[in-house]
Structure 1
Amino acid sequence: MAMPGMFKYLLVSALFIELAAAATYIVGGPNGGWDMATNQQTWASSQSFRVGDNLVFQYSPSDDVAEVSIGEYDSCQASNPMQAYGGGLSLISLTSPGKRYFISSIPSHCSAGMKIAVDTLAGSSAAPAESPAVSAPITSLPLGFGFSPVPSVAPEISMSSPSEPHVPKPSPSRSESPVPGTSGLAAGVQGSEDSANSTPLSRSTTTLDSPDSSASRSWFPSGFGKSLSFVVMMFMAL
């Protein structure tokens, strides 16, 4: 006894999967069906049917569904139906806009409420597919997963002329008060440094007075005597 009901359930499920692209309505559902206990007109007025939708009629095998004209719909007489369906399960596709009328071919059942008028609107019930969004070009590495934005570094522009040599600026030195008694020593040191910095190292020939009046060549740099005097003065100051 349970097999026919199970078969009907599986068949309806297969129909739903096949027609997933369109809206499919179980007539009188979800709490009713194509029977006299369901108010078919109230159910139909609560729906919005569009071209491409489908109607599923579930009913007793002893009953049927007939598509008729408006005159036969009003009189509940299916003397010349446009289409007749039977077997307990019928699928009807709404392929064009406009009104269509369905009744039970049994006059007493039709008069008891097994009749429905379906108004199909133009257009499809399926939502239009959204156009894919265009991705903006990536200008920096994304945050997360160990990445961080890498800013672009502007090249350094030198404002000096190409012909001008680069002269480093001297760093400012701290001014200190001279220690009493060392002013002369500082002056001597400064003079020795100036002389050493201004006089280039060069080889010079110096004639030394000797008893035999012989000439000897000295290889000491110019200013060596002043530097030696500076060293002696430093030892004396200590």
Structure 2
Amino acid sequence: MASSSVALVTLLVASCAALAAATSYTVGDGKGWVIGVDYSGWTSGKSFAVGDKLVFTYTSKAHTVTEVSQSDYSSCSGSNALANDDSGATTVTLNTPGTHYYICNIPGHCAGGMKVAVTVGGGGSSGSGSSSGGGSITPSGAVLQVPAMGAVVAAAAGALIKVALF
């Protein structure tokens, strides 16, 4: 019984640590996903990791969040998009290490600066190669549920109380 209690507590602590480690970044901070923001300046000094989320906020249908390859990023072409959303509130979960490329696919917007390259650390391939769809784009209409830390802590406390009673 004691070994199963230790295993349960270890599992709960590991789950809390994994949730706490992920970071959500609002692309462009308070300005959001718009023309006129220096997105390469925005990424500098940030360390992105697998599991982190990019939150794009913008006017629905006026912009897009389009994940593209490195060559399409360089040429501002969304014709071979890996993923695309124009809902106005897009969340991208960074699932793999490497560099991931996002543009606005509205004509002229990418050329006007609406493009961001995010290098995700981990797995030894950080900073090299091109994206192969390693992000998961979730439009605002989709359900993306991440439990709040308070709920996780409450669940862990409840489980520990049950273990202590037995």
Summarize deviations over 1:39-79 as a string: whole Å, max 9, x none: 11110123110111110000111211100011110111111
- Of structures 1 and 2, the one scoring higher in RCO (CA 8 A, sep 6+) is 2
Amino acid at match of 2:48: F
Say if 2:84 is the partner of 1:91.
Answer: no
The 5 Å alignment of 1:164-183 reads none
Separation (CA, whole Å) in 1 of partners of 2:45 and 2:118: 11
Unaligned runs of 5+ in 2: 1-18, 124-166
Q: How does 1:1-238 map to 2 (within 5 A)?
A: 22-29=22-29, 31-61=30-60, 62-122=62-122
What are the superposed Cα offsets for residues 26-49 of structure 1, whole Å, 9 maximum, x if unpaired?
Answer: 0010x3211012111110123110
Secondary structure of the structure 2 residue equivalent to 1:102: strand
8 Å contact kept, 1:26–1:57: yes
TM-score, normalised with respect to structure 1 = 0.42
- Equivalent AA in structure 2 for residue 106 of structure 1: I
Distance 2:45 2:107 in 1: 25
Tell me which structure has the larger Cα radius of gyration.
1
Q: Which amino acid aligns with 2:90?
A: S
State the shift of 1:22 in Å: 1.5
Q: Which amino acid aligns with 1:81?
A: A
Quote how far apart the aligned CAs of 1:106 are: 1.4
Q: 1:60–1:20: structure 2 CA closer, same or farther, 3 Å change rule? A: farther
Query: What is the rounded CA distance, in whole Å, between the counterparts of 1:112 and 1:96 in structure 2?
Result: 28
Unaligned runs of 5+ in 1: 1-18, 124-238
Aligned-partner Cα distance in 2 for 1:52–1:25: 11
* Aligned-partner Cα distance in 1 for 2:67–2:88: 16
- Counterpart AA for 2:32: G
Secondary structure class of the residue paired with 1:79: coil
The one-letter code matched in structure 1 to 2:22 is: A
* Percent pairwise identity: 43
Contact 1:77–1:107 under 8 Å retained in 2: no
* RMSD value, Cα: 1.5
